[in-house]
Chain A
């Protein structure tokens, strides 16, 4: 799921200090899983900000609350009037949530409390690793399920390069060389010979390089549009 990390409290403080009534608004889906922005972390940030405010002798109202998700209107609608009581909402959802809420809340700024980073998994409790880059054209069937776009620092399609250092990427010892993993995996699967095929230059337009994307589930959209048309007809 989406993984992010809380912004340092000093940075958050500087974002919020000029406001009088602040709500720290948590999201209990992805960012709760990575312990960055769930209800608990929202309350923690609120508590820290209160202490900070009192250190500077500032009189601020700082509250906290949370909902299941910030990225679907059904979760926001029941609470959005309450959000408008504040002059700033500090959303600890991922960037998606901040965007989505900003478009709906009206005259009130929504600031981000976390830095959203990647799509990742949880190999061990408390550890989150990037495994997918959302390139829009998945080729994992060609690389044994290990993504060279997300996990190779140079996004090589025909790796490895000469920088593999004891199975780790030249960039950092914390990064496994993706191509090392790919080769070993395909050995395990008995499909190593596929790697002799040269992958031609890639069409990156399905990735973010091609502009912001959208996915439309046709059968649902067809239904929704028909409903809207009906209501439009009635009105």
Chain B
């Protein structure tokens, strides 16, 4: 047992793991986090607390994770490489561990130019740090946990025991390099992997085959990313504008038909699309879990945490295992 976290236990048990996502608010008041934590508790094994996603300032992942922890929801803290240098990162990790956090996802972080795809002002002029990259960060966590050493070589009195995660975009270019890219993450010490949203299952299948050929599925727990579609427009946007995500036409058409079935009734259209979206999500969960080497799913219902319960139940993944 590396960290003793709930997520780790679920994975070790062989039951397909379920992680969800909790987005902190743009506010100094944490009550929304508490509210969302209650929506997710019991329906997932752990929930990612995003770290200034799309380079927008929100309550930090560590603070959000602590608030979630207090509500009984196991957090997966996220640490981007964009905002902190290795000194701040290691200090925050020590602190996070001291506050009870046991899962950490290492990601590069959207470039500060993003600012929620331009819909918010954000801070495009901020100095970007990127002192270390994701793979190096994974290595830092591993070194701290397993050798009790800081990156620079100084000793840690008590090493932080983290369950180390990294992200993977199996459908990104160059396609043939992505399995190698995954291998590097695993070699660096990634215990679990959460992938970018999967819609084109065939592509994911073929990439998983390559990952299995490299033996990666046995060294790390790959959780397939499932983004829950809410509208036909959102699916279209993801297909055209989100890197590494391609959506089969058939799925977009399904959402479109659902919308059209409501005619002019906007409220009905919303409801029909959401229903269809959940249906699609559940189908994808099943398809993904069938792929050998996949150890679970990471379900993202963006600003729609309330849907998680329905989805998890409809996918037959409820109840979640409980360990003492």
Contact = CB atoms under 8 A, between A and B. Distances in A.
A159 B185 CA distance: 10
Interface size on A, as a range, is 20 to 34
B147 to A, nearest CB: 14
Interface of A: 153-167, 169-172, 177, 180, 183-184, 192, 195-196, 198-202, 204
Contacts of A184: 174
Q: Chain B's interface: helix, strand, loop or mixed, by majority?
A: loop
Contacts of B128: 153-154
B111 A201 contact: no
Interface residues of B, number: 37
Contacts of A165: 241, 243-244
Contacts of B114: 170
Nearest to A155: B130
Contact of B183 (A160, A172, A180, A196): A196
Q: Chain A's interface: helix, strand, loop or mixed, by majority?
A: loop
16 contacts: A153-B111, A155-B130, A156-B108, A156-B133, A157-B136, A160-B172, A163-B108, A163-B110, A163-B111, A163-B243, A164-B169, A198-B188, A200-B136, A201-B131, A201-B136, A201-B140
B275 interface: no
Interface in B127-158: 128, 130-136, 139-140, 151
B118 to A, nearest CB: 12
Interface of B: 81-82, 86, 108-111, 113-114, 128, 130-136, 139-140, 151, 167-169, 172-174, 177, 180-181, 183-184, 187-188, 196, 241, 243-244
Contacts of B86: 201
Contacts of A192: 177, 180
B244 A164 contact: yes
Nearest to B178: A160
A169 B173 CA distance: 11
The listed residue with most A CB atoms (<10 A of its CB), out of B133, B183, B241, is B133
B135 A170 contact: no
B108 A162 contact: yes
A161 to B, nearest CB: 4
The listed residue with most A CB atoms (<10 A of its CB), out of B111, B128, B140, B167, is B111
A158 B114 CA distance: 22
A162 B184 contact: no
Nearest to B185: A158
B187 A198 contact: yes
Given A154-B109, A156-B133, 5 more contacts: A156-B108, A156-B134, A161-B108, A164-B169, A201-B136
